[in-house]
C-alpha cells in the first residue's frame, strides 16, 4: 500500500534528513538530464536547491556525475541533429537549431565587441614615395620637379 504524496516542503525536508532519499532524487536528476532535459525544469528540486545540495551533500550529489549527465544530454541533442542532417531521422532542422542556440549558446555569427581607451597614433604612408608623410620634408610639387 502506497502512502500519500509528499508536499514539496515535506519532500525537501526528507531529502535533507535522509541520505537514501538524496541518492534517490540525485539519480532521478541524472536520468532527467541524460534524457536531454534542462536542470531548471526538474520537478522535484529547484535550481537553487540543486546548487545548495551540490555544496552541502557532496557524498550524494556528486558534481562530476552531474557534469557527465549534462554532457550525455548534450550528446543526445547533437546526435539528433546529426541523424536529421544525414536523413536517418525526420525532424525540423530549424527547430533543432533554435534549441541548440538557446540551450547551448550556438550562434551563426560571432559577436565581437572592441573598446579602446587611450590615444591612437595613425601614420599615413605614401606607397608612391616609399616613406611616411610625417617623414617627408619636401612637398609633392618639389618631388615632381626633381624628376
Mapping DSSP onto H, E and C, the string for 11-38 reads HHHHHHHCHHHHHHHHHHHHHHHHCCCC
pTM of the model: 0.67
Q: In the 8-state DSSP scheme, what is residue 87?
A: T
Which of residues 56 and 130 earns the better pLDDT score? 56
The sign of the torsion formed by the CA atoms of 51, 55, 57, 59 equals: positive
- Compute the average pLDDT of residues 59-87: 94
**Which three cell numbers mark 90?**
525526420
- The count of C-alpha atoms lying within 13 angstroms of the C-alpha of 16, restricted to the half-sphere facing its C-beta, is 12
What is the percentage of the chain residues whose pLDDT exceeds 90?
44
Please, what is the average pLDDT of the chain?
A: 84
71 inside domain: yes
What is the domain count for the chain? 1
Q: Which pLDDT does position 143 carry in this prediction?
A: 47
Most confident by average pLDDT, 12-16, 26-30, 133-137: 26-30
pLDDT tens digits, 93-142: 888 888 899 888 887 777 778 787 888 788 888 777 655 555 555 555 55
pLDDT tier at 26, thresholds 50, 70, 90: very high
Q: Which pLDDT does position 17 carry in this prediction?
A: 93
Q: Which pLDDT does position 130 carry in this prediction?
A: 57
20 inside domain: yes
146 inside domain: no
Full domain range(s) for residue 17: 8-95
77 inside domain: yes
87 inside domain: yes
**Which three cell numbers mark 98?**
533554435
Helices (H), the chain: 8-17, 19-34, 47-56, 63-85, 93-104, 140-146
Amino acid at each position: 500500500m502506497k502512502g500519500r504524496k509528499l508536499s514539496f516542503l515535506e519532500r525537501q525536508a526528507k531529502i535533507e534528513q535522509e541520505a537514501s532519499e538524496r541518492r534517490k532524487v540525485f539519480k532521478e536528476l541524472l536520468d532527467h538530464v541524460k534524457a536531454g532535459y534542462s536542470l531548471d525544469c526538474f520537478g522535484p528540486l529547484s535550481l537553487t536547491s540543486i546548487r545548495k545540495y551540490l555544496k552541502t551533500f557532496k557524498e550524494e550529489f556528486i558534481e562530476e556525475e552531474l557534469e557527465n549527465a549534462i554532457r550525455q544530454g548534450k550528446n543526445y541533442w547533437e546526435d539528433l541533429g546529426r541523424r536529421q542532417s544525414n536523413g536517418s531521422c525526420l525532424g525540423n532542422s530549424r527547430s533543432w537549431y533554435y534549441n541548440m542556440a538557446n540551450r547551448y549558446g550556438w550562434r551563426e555569427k560571432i559577436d565581437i565587441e572592441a573598446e579602446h581607451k587611450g590615444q591612437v597614433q595613425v601614420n599615413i604612408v605614401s606607397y608612391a614615395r616609399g616613406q611616411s608623410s610625417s617623414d617627408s620634408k619636401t612637398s609633392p610639387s618639389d618631388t615632381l620637379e626633381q624628376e
